[in-house]
Structure 1
């Protein structure tokens, strides 16, 4: 088997740049606890910074706001400088040694069939092990090869796919569909209808193949949900080889809690984040160091940067502080 070329090593995150996914969420349970958040360091930090950009979207975009913000920060844009189209951020290609080759991530998952919809649980939420995933991968890879897609085992929950059928495919990110009905989220592309149809057929073949595989019965016997399909995300290719720019620091605790719909854990994660990363950013801002903060929800994102620190700017901040600064959760409820 040929050895895949090594992917370029990602540059280390830039200091004093923080991008927070799922700083808010659209679930009613999240909105109900939002006003109860006590985030003194975030409130003080927002008073020190100036807003610069707002990314306004909705709950139906294929790419989440934190994915769009990260793509912009790392330079994943088209040759004309515009942002990638919705659902077409080529994450798999960008992380490879051949970024102009169409690539994607195939994530084994469990499709939960309800009375009126089908929802998705990703592999990390159903306890998918390397051993189980490897057996399914080895059985499924030849099917992909027949259709011009080379599959490589990257981890239990993410398989790397490459091949021309993946060019121009618009697909919802795994974060977007996790725990949600998948109707209307299936991969599609007017520019590549053949590729879209091929992926739908592969998903159907995977469903039948995994159902009859010994791993299915073995997991069921252990009381675990079976793997009965895979999800496509991060598809596409870069127009030209472009080294990734250093990324901001991206904490994952809020995201993990939100994807599990564990809003008590989400509140705890916010309190911990406020006491650590947010506090460090506040101290840096007060030292006069350049600081960037991006808060992302499920609809939009907002970015703040260090405000000017000349005499008039300090006077303006003093006047604003005298009027009182709004609680931090007010900045989160519109995301």
Structure 2
């Protein structure tokens, strides 16, 4: 007797939380592009949801709104349960097997030095391959070890660091500084001045080491940007290690376009989201399921959740629909 084939396993349920980084940006060209967007599915979804939380910030925070929102969604907090302080979200430690150990990510990078400013080249434009990155990593690792920082190679553009000097180091994320002047974003550590001094020394040693390394001349000969420094991000230790919560859905296309300041691609990414992720969440909201939408800009983030489904709530939505749905840009512009 033939054996019936086993049914394929059911797909896991879709996350009910959609978190959108760079749903808006403060650049004038982005704001101009924003007002030309036509996002009917997003507008319909906003009509089904009610405001739940506003994380108001400014352009000078070390941690971007989507990073703060993601930390909250994952359950990353301080020891007392309050949100992580600005620039002190311990991303490297949170994703390690020893979250109580101070850790960070070091990214080999290119600082563009001008007459009056120093800016950080977005990592995507560095075009650093693994053999070159490993050669620089192997040269720097012994110097780090002398200062109590252990390096582990993670990827061409991200090395993992661990050690006590990385505790309580407030640092700006790469998303915050990419393409921007870095003076205001250099890592600070009033709680760990000794660690700050170690990191400054390692930064200086890396600059000199990378400048004299054969990789520098090889990249310059090929017309590539040389690696001339490091950027520290995601530093610290998890105060109360607990299992992380399931992550929300986190589309990356808007972020990628915004970091390149490619606002045509950014508008296209919004159109694709409005045709894919947004309708899926809208359908679930209309079925009465609990859904969450978090829209993040460069200053603030707003979270909206499923509206109550009672009779009074239905009448309220009907009245709101009669008045007409405001264009999506009005919800996105303040971010």
Shorter-chain TM-score: which interval? over 0.9
- Displacement, 1:252? 0.2
- Displacement, 1:14? 5.7
Q: 1:13 touches 1:247 (CA, 8 Å); kept in 2?
A: no
**1:287-309 superposed Cα distances (whole Å, 9 cap, x missing partner):** 11111000000000000011011
**1:141-165 superposed Cα distances (whole Å, 9 cap, x missing partner):** 1110000000000000100000000
- Displacement, 1:13? 8.8
- Displacement, 1:16? 2.1
**1:280-325 superposed Cα distances (whole Å, 9 cap, x missing partner):** 1111111111110000000000000110111111110000111111
- The equivalences for 1:173-252 within 5 A come to 173-252=173-252
- RMSD over aligned Cα atoms: 1.1
Instruction: Give 3-state SS (helix, strand or coil) of 2:121's partner.
Output: strand
**1:101-125 superposed Cα distances (whole Å, 9 cap, x missing partner):** 0000001110000110100014332
The answer for unaligned runs of 5 or more in structure 1 is: 1-11
Q: 2:122 touches 2:259 (CA, 8 Å); kept in 1?
A: no
Q: TM-score, normalised to structure 1's length? A: 0.95
Say which one has the larger Rg.
Answer: 2
Instruction: Give 3-state SS (helix, strand or coil) of 2:185's partner.
Output: coil
1 CA distance for matches of 2:180 and 2:273?
Answer: 27
Give the structure 1 partner of residue 165 of structure 2. Answer: 165
Give the structure 1 partner of residue 111 of structure 2. Answer: 111
Q: 1:13 touches 1:249 (CA, 8 Å); kept in 2?
A: no
2 CA distance for matches of 1:152 and 1:29?
Answer: 40
Instruction: Give 3-state SS (helix, strand or coil) of 1:66's partner.
Output: helix
Aligned residues: 324
**1:260-291 superposed Cα distances (whole Å, 9 cap, x missing partner):** 11111000000001110011111111111111
2 CA distance for matches of 1:187 and 1:298?
Answer: 19
Give the structure 2 partner of residue 67 of structure 1. Answer: 67
Q: 2:77 touches 2:239 (CA, 8 Å); kept in 1?
A: no
**1:230-266 superposed Cα distances (whole Å, 9 cap, x missing partner):** 1000000012221111110000000000001111100
Residue 88 of structure 1 pairs with residue 53 of structure 2: no
2 CA distance for matches of 1:42 and 1:200?
Answer: 46
Residue 25 of structure 1 pairs with residue 13 of structure 2: no
**1:25-64 superposed Cα distances (whole Å, 9 cap, x missing partner):** 0111111111001100000000000110000000000000
2 CA distance for matches of 1:107 and 1:80?
Answer: 31
Q: TM-score, normalised to structure 2's length? A: 0.95
Runs of 4+ more than 4 Å apart: none
1 CA distance for matches of 2:13 and 2:103?
Answer: 24
Give the structure 1 partner of residue 155 of structure 2. Answer: 155
2 CA distance for matches of 1:185 and 1:194?
Answer: 19
2 CA distance for matches of 1:41 and 1:14?
Answer: 18
Give the structure 1 partner of residue 141 of structure 2. Answer: 141
Give the structure 2 partner of residue 321 of structure 1. Answer: 321
Comparing 65-74 with 115-124, greater Cα deviation is found at 115-124
